[in-house]
């Protein structure tokens, strides 16, 4: 049992909740509890009852505490990191009016297109939010709700993001943070506040929104008695504002603030992402111009189809996920849920380049290649500097790619990233970086320390570095040609 206090970091993702019990001094992971979520919906719909998240959080915390052997009295603080962009609508009693629309619900694609036009185009959105609305962003989902379920929108007494909903259940206080708020498209990264004109554009009363804390590590309240009883934790412990999952992963890696800047990260999970903490405010339509949890810059590109889509291809072929080889002449774009980057919300999976000699293992390898290439394609858009904050231009190769997420534990995922990027790859030893980042926020709320400095001292970003291998230019050209044809046809269709 640790002699120092412990903190709990919660990762409430699309598929499950993980709660990590962490020694606040050493950063040692004492236990991780897990509880699955239920996602429903067909076609473009993806929804979850927010009460499922709360039940999963309670189960995961209880499981982690039981496994750790730590008495509940040793817990000093808790923080939640949640999946971004989800739309939670509540009545006056704080009860969900309907299942939450998740980030990968693509039904709001028409609303995204209309909102871009309504403000005067992509540049107008970039100037305010750093992002151009796509179907994953919260503002587009609210607009979809207004148009398709106006009675629900009219009845809403509160609008929350997933992590906001859970944090409010913990502390009884309606608070978000700059990082998660920056993914809504009604928060301005230029001003660090909700944008009145954007709220007016989507017909959203700002009184329905939570206050924005200065950072995710701010202590926004104490654990209430009902929450303490549900979780088996002491009433009154510190509750941090928390943040979005990508922002928490950045904290867990020691990125931003006094930590590492301009260090590119590739995350391979249900979605694929590339991001970095920078001093440069992004202005590319290919990027989401997110903020770090303390209001810095966290430019990020996100794809909808990554490990889950490749696992589906493996299942269709009757293969184990590691039973793959390079795709040869085959190109497989595994856009099974539409795609966000590039913005192809109505796309489906595409296979081309078959030969008599093509094998099932090559088809699976082609799915890996299509998913990885789609993620890596966004790297050149990141406004990376030379480590001193000075712009160095796109495509900077001086630093390794930090590879995280479930895919970072898969041999063929790692091999494919190395082969298609031609860059060194760093795989952190710590596996639960989102939960660890949330735990660092909790530690910050309890002690007043900078959470990035906490995570850096814990060493959660350290790992094994793999050298660069020659880049597979042939595979990249084949995928680029096919993807170019697909996006060209989509633009002509939209026009």
Neighbouring CB atoms inside 10 A of 318's CB total 8
Q: Is 245 marked active-site?
A: yes
Q: Which of 114, 99, 90 is nearest to 164 (CA)?
A: 90
Query: Could you give the CA distance from residue 341 to residue 338 in angstroms, rounded to a whole number?
Result: 10
Residue environment code for 144-177, b if the CB has 16+ CB neighbours within 10 A, otherwise e: bbbeeeeeebeebebbbbbbbbbbbbbbbbbbbb
Computed over its alpha carbons, how large is the radius of gyration of the chain? 21
CA-based angle 88:89:93, to the nearest 5? Answer: 120
- The answer to whether 84 is annotated as binding is yes
**What are the distances in angstroms from CA 38 to CA 44, 57, 214?**
16, 13, 33
Backbone CA torsion sign across 428, 429, 434, 437? negative
Classified as helix, coil or strand, 33 is strand
Query: Could you give the CA distance from residue 348 to residue 364 in angstroms, rounded to a whole number?
Result: 17
- The answer to whether 85 is annotated as binding is yes
Query: Could you give the CA distance from residue 451 to residue 468 in angstroms, rounded to a whole number?
Result: 31
Neighbouring CB atoms inside 10 A of 463's CB total 18
Query: Could you give the CA distance from residue 417 to residue 427 in angstroms, rounded to a whole number?
Result: 12
DSSP H or E segment with residue 407: none
Give the active site residue among 11, 23, 177, 245.
245
Backbone CA torsion sign across 245, 102, 492, 289? negative
- From start to end of 124-195, where are the E strands? 158-160, 175-176, 187-188, 193-194
CA atoms within 13 A on the CB side of 454: 28
* Binding positions: 84-85
List, by residue number, the catalytic residues: 245
* Binding positions for substrate: 84-85
């Amino acid at each position: 049992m640790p002699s120092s206090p412990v903190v709990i970091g919660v990762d409430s993702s699309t598929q499950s909740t993980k709660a990590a019990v962490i020694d606040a001094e050493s950063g040692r992971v004492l236990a991780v509890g897990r509880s699955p979520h239920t996602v429903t919906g067909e076609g473009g719909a993806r929804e979850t009852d927010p009460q499922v998240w709360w039940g999963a959080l309670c189960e995961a915390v209880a499981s982690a505490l039981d496994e750790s052997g730590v008495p509940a009295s040793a817990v000093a603080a808790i923080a939640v990191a949640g999946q971004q962009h989800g739309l939670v609508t509540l009545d006056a009693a704080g009860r969900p009016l309907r299942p939450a629309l998740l980030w990968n619900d693509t039904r709001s694609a028409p609303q995204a297109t209309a909102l871009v036009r309504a403000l005067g185009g992509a540049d107008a959105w970039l100037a305010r939010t750093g992002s151009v609305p796509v179907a994953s962003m919260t503002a587009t989902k609210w607009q979809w709700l207004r148009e398709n379920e106006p009675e629900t929108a009219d009845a809403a007494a509160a609008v929350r993001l997933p992590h906001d909903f859970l944090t409010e259940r913990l502390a009884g206080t309606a608070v978000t943070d700059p990082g998660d708020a920056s993914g809504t498209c009604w928060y301005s990264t230029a001003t660090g506040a909700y944008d009145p004109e954007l709220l007016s554009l989507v017909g959203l009363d700002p009184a329905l929104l939570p206050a924005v804390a200065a950072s995710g590590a701010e202590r926004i309240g104490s654990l209430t008695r009902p929450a303490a009883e549900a979780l088996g934790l002491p009433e009154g412990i510190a509750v941090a504002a928390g943040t979005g999952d990508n922002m928490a992963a950045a904290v867990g890696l020691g990125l931003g603030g006094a930590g590492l800047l301009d260090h590119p990260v590739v995350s391979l999970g249900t979605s694929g992402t590339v991001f970095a903490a920078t001093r440069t405010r992004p202005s590319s339509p290919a990027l989401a111009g997110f903020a770090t949890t303390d209001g810095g810059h966290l430019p990020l590109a996100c794809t909808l189809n990554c490990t889950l889509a490749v696992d589906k291809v493996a299942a269709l072929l009757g293969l184990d996920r590691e039973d793959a080889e390079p795709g040869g002449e085959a190109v497989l774009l595994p856009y099974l849920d539409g795609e966000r980057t590039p913005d192809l919300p109505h796309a489906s999976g595409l296979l081309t380049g078959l030969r008599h000699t093509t094998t099932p293992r090559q088809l699976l390898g082609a799915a890996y290649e299509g998913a990885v290439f789609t993620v890596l394609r966004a790297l050149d858009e990141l406004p990376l500097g030379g480590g001193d904050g000075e712009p160095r231009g796109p495509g900077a190769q001086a630093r390794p790619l930090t590879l995280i997420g479930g895919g970072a534990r898969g041999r063929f995922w790692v091999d494919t990233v190395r082969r298609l990027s031609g860059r060194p790859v760093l795989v952190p030893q710590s596996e639960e970086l989102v939960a660890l980042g949330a735990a660092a926020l909790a530690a910050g709320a309890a002690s007043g320390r900078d959470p990035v400095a906490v995570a850096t001292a814990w060493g959660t970003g350290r790992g094994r570095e793999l050298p660069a291998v020659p880049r597979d230019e042939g595979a990249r050209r084949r995928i680029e040609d096919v993807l170019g044809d697909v996006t060209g046809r989509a633009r002509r269709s939209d026009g």
